[in-house]
Chains A and B, each alone.
Chain A
Amino acid sequence: MERAAANERRERNAQRLRALLAVLEAGDDSSFDAGIDALAREREDALFAHVARLTRQLHQEVVEMRLDERLAHLAGDEIPDARHRLDYVMQVTERAAHHTLDLVDQARGVTAGIERAAQHLAEAQTVLSVAHPEAANVAGLMHCVRDDLAEQTQLLRRTLSELAQAQEYQDISGQIIKRVITLVRNVETALLELLRAAGGGLQTVPPRPIQPLSGALSGPAVPGSTPGASQQDADELLASLGF
C-alpha cells in the first residue's frame, strides 16, 4: 500500500520534472522558475504540516500523561528551590572563605607580636652580656631561643599565606555553581515554555529569554570535561606567540 503510494509519488514527480525540462528547453524561463518555486513550496508545506502534527501529538501526550501537573510542580517549585539551594551554597562558602581569611589576618598579627617579642629577647640578651659577662651560657641560650622563634615565625607566615591562598577554591567552585544555576534556570524557562505551549496553567509567568552560558566562555576545567591548558601550557603558548 505504502509502496504503491511512493511509486505513484515518484512517477508524478518524474512527470513534473520532465514537463519542467521541456519548458526550460523551449526557452520559457518564467514558466520554468514558477514550476521550480511551486515544487519548493510543496516541500516546505509538507515540512510545516509535519511539525504541526508533531506539536499536536506532543500536546496530546502531555495531556494524557498528566505531564503538565508534574512539569508544573517541577518548574514551579522544585527547580526554583534547587536554585535557591545552590545560591545558598555560594553564600555559605563565600562566608566561610572570608571567615578563614579573617582568621589568617588575625594570626598574621600574632606572628608580628612574636617577632616583636623575639626582638625584645635579643635586646635583653645584649644587656645581659654587658652587665653579666659571667652568664654567657644564659645569653647563649637566649640567642638560640631567639633564632628558633624567628625560624618558626617565618614558617608560620608561609603556612598562613598558603592557607589564605587555599581559599581560592571558593572562586573556582563558585564559578562552576554559577554555571549550574544558569543551566537550571534555562531548564526552568524551557519547561514553562513547554507548559504554555501545551496549554497548561502558569499563564501568568512572563516569558524569559534563555540566557547562553556565560557567552562562549568554558569556565573552570572540571574532571571529565575538555581539559584546559595548565599554567605551563599557557606559558609555552604565549612564548610561541612572542611573549
Chain B
Amino acid sequence: MDKNMRILIVDDFSTMRRIVKNLLNDLGYTNTAEADDGKTAWPMLQSGSFDFVVTDWNMPGMTGIELLRNIRGDARIGKTPVLMVTAEAQREQIIEAAQAGVNGYIIKPFTAQTLKEKIDKIFQRMSEAA
C-alpha cells in the first residue's frame, strides 16, 4: 500500500493524536493531519484529499460515529476507509459502528502491533475487493 497516503487523525485528546501520529510514523506513514473532533474534521475531509481516517468515537461537537455516517453518506468521499480507535467497548457499539460502515475497530488501550494489523487488513481487503 501507498506509504505516502494522506491520513486524518481525529481525537479530542491531543496526547492521543500525537501517539497515533507517532505510531503511524513508525509504520512509515508520515503524511498525516489532525482534527480535534468530527466538526473540525468534516471541512478538512471535504476540501483535502484524504485516503484514510483514524477516528475516536466519544468527542464533543461531532462524535466519531456521526463523522463516519457523514462520510458514508457523501457521494464524493463515501468510500474513504475509516478506522475507529476508541475506549468504547460495548458490543452494541461495535455492532453500531459495523452497521455504519466502519472498516476497522480498535479498543483503547491498544498496541502498535494492533494498529499495524488493522491497517494492513483494511488495505488487504480493499485490494481484494478492487
A229-B94, A237-B95, A243-B98 as given contacts; A171 in contact with B88, CB under 8 Å: no
Question: Does B87 lie within 8 Å of A161, measured CB to CB?
Answer: no
Please provide the chain B residues from 75 to 128 with a CB less than 8 Å away from any CB of chain A in the complex: 87-91, 93-95, 98, 104-112, 114
What would 9 A/B residue contacts be, using CB atoms closer than 8 Å? A98-B14, A171-B16, A218-B88, A218-B90, A219-B88, A220-B87, A221-B89, A234-B94, A243-B98
Question: Does A161 lie within 8 Å of B23, measured CB to CB?
Answer: yes
Question: Does A172 lie within 8 Å of B105, measured CB to CB?
Answer: no
Question: Does B13 lie within 8 Å of A217, measured CB to CB?
Answer: no
A204 CB to closest chain B CB (Å) equals 28
Question: Does A228 lie within 8 Å of B112, measured CB to CB?
Answer: no
Looking at chain A's contact residues, is the secondary structure mostly helix, strand, loop, or mixed?
Answer: helix
Please tell me if B3 contacts chain A, counting CB pairs below 8 Å: no
Question: Does A161 lie within 8 Å of B105, measured CB to CB?
Answer: no
Bound-state Cα–Cα, A241 to B90, Å: 15
A52 CB to closest chain B CB (Å) equals 40
Bound-state Cα–Cα, A104 to B26, Å: 13
Question: Does B91 lie within 8 Å of A229, measured CB to CB?
Answer: yes
Question: Does B107 lie within 8 Å of A94, measured CB to CB?
Answer: no
Using C-beta atoms within 8 Å of the partner chain, give the interface range for chain A: 35 or more
Contact with B along A193-235 (1 / 0, CB 8 A): 0000000000000000000001101111100001011110110
Using C-beta atoms within 8 Å of the partner chain, give the interface range for chain B: 20 to 34
A48 CB to closest chain B CB (Å) equals 39
Closest 9 CB pairs of A and B: A228-B89, A220-B87, A171-B16, A171-B13, A97-B15, A170-B15, A229-B89, A241-B98, A164-B22
Question: Does A101 lie within 8 Å of B22, measured CB to CB?
Answer: yes
A161-B23, A237-B95 as given contacts; A231 in contact with B106, CB under 8 Å: yes
Bound-state Cα–Cα, A229 to B53, Å: 23
A82 CB to closest chain B CB (Å) equals 21
A212 CB to closest chain B CB (Å) equals 13
Question: Does B107 lie within 8 Å of A169, measured CB to CB?
Answer: no
A112 CB to closest chain B CB (Å) equals 13
Please tell me if A175 contacts chain B, counting CB pairs below 8 Å: yes
Please provide the chain B residues from 41 to 99 with a CB less than 8 Å away from any CB of chain A in the complex: 57-58, 63, 87-91, 93-95, 98
Chain A residues closer than 8 Å to B14, beta-carbon distance: 94, 98
Question: Does A161 lie within 8 Å of B98, measured CB to CB?
Answer: no
